[in-house]
Structure 1
Amino acid sequence: MHGANSTSLTPRYFILSGIPGLEAAHIWISLPFCFMYIIAVMGNCGLIYLISHEEALHRPMYYFLALLSLTDVSGCTSFVPNMLCIFWLSLKKIDFNACLVQMFFIHMLTGMESGVLMLMALDRYVAICYPLHYSTILTNTTITKVGLATFSRSVLVMIPFTFLIKRLPYCRGNIILHTYCDHMSVAKLSCGNTKINAIYGLIAAIVIGGFDMFFISMSYTMIIRTVLNLSSVDARHKAFSTCTSHICAIVITYVPAFFNFFTHRFGQHTVPHHIHILIANLYLLLPPTLNPIIYGVKTRQIRKEVIRLFFREKNILSMK
């Protein structure tokens, strides 16, 4: 097999094809992806800087937002630069071990984002249902512990993917029909039994996505029940308004993710392959791009601190 070791059926490298059937349009396709990546990096790094430097934002809600931004910027950086090299420079070759590393980080950070969204739902639940105990329940120690637990869960669940891929024999070539090393896209190149890979992929999706969606749903069920019991219309509106940014983040994260998951397993013959790959890239890049915009527009405290920071910097420059 081309690119394989002489002593085994493990390839030395894979070839990432990009988007099959749209090779002629790679340059044009790369432009919106590059633009979105720039916005994602600037927006999320800006949020992390703002939250870490402005004392008014040193609250649990914003700590979780900073963690979401860190996860988002890490997630899109794990594949977009490599994808742009494929589109612009035709650098399609990726070492076998480098492919495993990329696959691990993409899936681990995707799981981490889902976990952070769940933690943010719990934050809103405590803030609305137990406002008097908010600061005593969500202490810095508690936030650190749940953050580390979410990270550890993602790492432990995703580590087996690398071993499941490494154990397989590869005799169907080394060309991955994708822009990055996705678990099942790599497994399809194997002539071995990939049933375990498919089953474990489903288990991982249930353990992380299913578990998080269950707790998000439970949190918002309790939130809605509490808000509807409020006597004041203004109080209801204020309570709901604190959740709008988070709800938008959930929608733009889970809708493309579930579409990608189900089409990958059940819609391979009905959804064109290039559409599936475009959706797979958007599902990883869209949340990091839109989350800073959504929270910047919808969250009054962040808008206030951005304006204050802008005018403070402007005054400093005018004094020089």
Structure 2
Amino acid sequence: MFVLTGCLDDPPDPKQIFGFRDATDSDLSAEVEEAIDVANAALELDGRFVLRPMWRPGRPQQALQQVPVYLLRRPNAAIDAGTATPDMLRAFRAELARTVSLSGFGNCAETDPCAAAMYAGTQMGRAATEVYNGSTAMDAAAAEINCRCVMLIEDNLRQFKLIFGPSDQYGQAFAPLSGYVAWLALHEAGHLNRTFRLVPGAPWAELYRRTQSGLAERQQEEMRADAYAASLLGRACFAQVPQRLHAIAAQACYGLTMQAAQLWLYEAFDKTDGGLRRHYLNDGRTHPNVLMRLLAANVVMMDGRGKSAELLTKFLEKREVVAQRLPKSPNL
């Protein structure tokens, strides 16, 4: 998904510019519409924006800034090396089932080189991270068409559902697709709200500031938009708001937490230098480290409650260890 900055009275059609096709006939459309309803319910707390699915009939709400949403399909989308498949997921589950503590590695920490001998790596960690990279890869190019809108790309959403959806333990979607889409839509609305500034709660203010260390301006903007989305979800789920809003937003709040948990699980089975770099460092990406973003967003959403601050603290500590051991990442 991409945010397109700028504003025109008659915004250009991204399908024509990028060659995408309409995907409103997708079997994912019901979940996407549910996500938009969730995001719009949370956006009521800000009172500035409303997401407008371009395939739905009806008149726009004139009092709010309209954010057009498109559900699109790439023509002849190719399967690349980073794309997950059902076979990859089955292989990962088999590896997970047979994993045991090996003798001789009792004193081997996760960030030590010896860990790579235990967990030589799976393809699932890279594929999971690429879901998020795919949702942001064309930000710069999309901005050139000067239109404030959201583009949801069908194959990227399908990858998320394949990778993050299954859960043998709970018998339901581990991280629901609707929660992922709602989170991304709120993130993009955060880019449009240029006046939003996060004021961290006192107990976790310094912890959150550590996530900003060394980030470029573009990366700080991504964290700002994350914080906007997380703060709205936190208010919708945990503040004194109408019970209707609690009920609507609950799955999106749950999904945000589960995304971080599932991404950590996949990455836990790759302790190679490449896996550790992807798991903990920015590694030259235009956006901050994916897991750090999700953990930091959880701290904002939870206002530091529960284990949210503890998990982010542990991540940042290991991140510093990895940065010292591996060649320095240019954007750490």
- TM-score, normalised to structure 1, is 0.25
Q: Tell me which structure has the larger Cα radius of gyration.
A: 1
* Structure with greater contact order relative to length (CA < 8 Å, sep ≥ 6): 1
Q: Is the helix fraction higher in 1 or 2?
A: 1
- TM-score, normalised to structure 2, is 0.24
